[in-house]
Amino acid sequence: MSDMTILEQWRSIAYNQNADKNKLQRFWANYFNIEKNIYEQLLENPDETVSGTVKELAEKYGQDVMTMVGFLDGINDSLKVPNPIETMDEDTKVNLAFDKEALYKNMVDAKADWLYNLPQWDKIFTEETKKTLYMEQKKSGTVVKPHKVGRNDPCPCGSGKKYKHCCGR
């Protein structure tokens, strides 16, 4: 076990395929609660850069190191400067300086409505901005299928011929 990084330990528990479903559900329910609590605090002062060792941040938010690592794993894509989460241990210096728009969009992407609907966001973004970010994120995940050209349609190359007699041959 000691060869595993803290992140690997966290992931082996959080994404354990063989775990008892109820146990895993409880694990995540508990984790989401903790995560929400940390985000509430972070979003109160969105421009303050919280930093310290993994252990110091765990203590600051009243969590164990493993849970803090889970949080760091979750927020990493939203940070201005990502933390070395793959290799960190409890003494690694990390920061939580997040990009507000990226964080909001990543919460939308994760379908975490309990996070992107936190009241703290109202002091950061207007309703309009929130709506725009929400739509941008939702659209970015949508694959738009290109229009299929029919055999008898005019050729998209602009020759004026039917597709089947032109580029469709």
Listed in sequence order, the DSSP H helices in 86-168 are 100-109, 113-116, 121-124, 127-140
Q: What is the pTM of this model?
A: 0.81
d(CA 169, CA 159): 14
Across the range 62-77, mean pLDDT stands at 96
pLDDT at 115 over 80: yes
Question: CA torsion, points 163, 165, 166, 169, in degrees to nearest 10?
Answer: 90
Average pLDDT over residues 69-95: 96
Tokens standing for residue 140: 């970015």
Count, residues in the chain? 169
Mean pLDDT of the residues in the chain = 93
Q: Say if residues 156 and 163 touch (Cβ distance below 8 Å).
A: yes
Structure confidence at residue 149 (pLDDT): 84
The residue with greater pLDDT, 146 or 83, is 83
Q: What is the pLDDT of residue 2?
A: 58
